[in-house]
Amino acid sequence: MFTIRPFESEDWEPIWRIIEPVFRAGETYAFSPNITEEAAYQVWVEGSSATYVAINDNNEVLGTYFIRPNQPALGAHVCNCGYIVAEKARGQGTASQMCEHSQREALALGFRAMQYNLVISTNEGAVRLWKKHGFEVVGTLPEAFRHPRLGFVDAFVMYKKLKK
């Protein structure tokens, strides 16, 4: 059992422990595998409209996501999110619940749609999950991601109009 709540400053250390290995692996996010903790904080927390954590009954962070406008000004009604789940919490519905939560929060923040700009085609679990939640692949970016093991692979743009 877990709950999702807004980020608090003391959450950063456990969030960093969750997102650092994902960024270092370089298989699902376009950030440099050598990203500094400070730069990651800027991206995940300071550069976002809101950041959230999924926590269990022991107040342990199981996952995190951010939400922000996908574009400035005239495109700011469409949001973008990024999600990462702790390795030990994967396969337990955490990402799915964070996706549902993010859609409710997006509507509450005034967003009308959600767009994922760079869903790596080899991240089959994420593609399947986002489709399950109503996202459509609206574009394929050929060889847009340099995977550390597989070389250049396609990335998808996925989109969903949010319902009130």
SS3 of residue 16 by DSSP:
helix
**92: part of which helix (H) or strand (E)?**
none
Identify the pLDDT of residue 84. 98
CB-based contact 25:33 (threshold 8 Å): yes
pLDDT digits (tens, 9 = 90+) for 8-58: 999 999 999 999 999 999 999 999 999 999 999 999 999 999 999 999 999
DSSP assignment of 106-118 = HHHTT--EEEEEE
What is the band of 164 on the pLDDT scale with cuts at 50, 70, 90? confident
The whole-model pTM stands at: 0.95
* Residue 158, both tokens: 């996925």
Structural domains in the chain plus CATH codes: 2-161 (3.40.630.30)
CB-based contact 62:56 (threshold 8 Å): yes
Question: Strand 61-69's sheet: what is its strand order?
Answer: 2-6, 50-56, 61-69, 78-85, 113-120, 151-161, 136-147
What percent of the chain stands above pLDDT 90?
Answer: 98
Identify the pLDDT of residue 1. 76
DSSP assignment of 40-62 = HHIIIIITSSEEEEEEETT--EE
The residues near 161 (Cβ < 8 Å, ≥ 6 apart) are: 112, 113
Identify the pLDDT of residue 87. 94
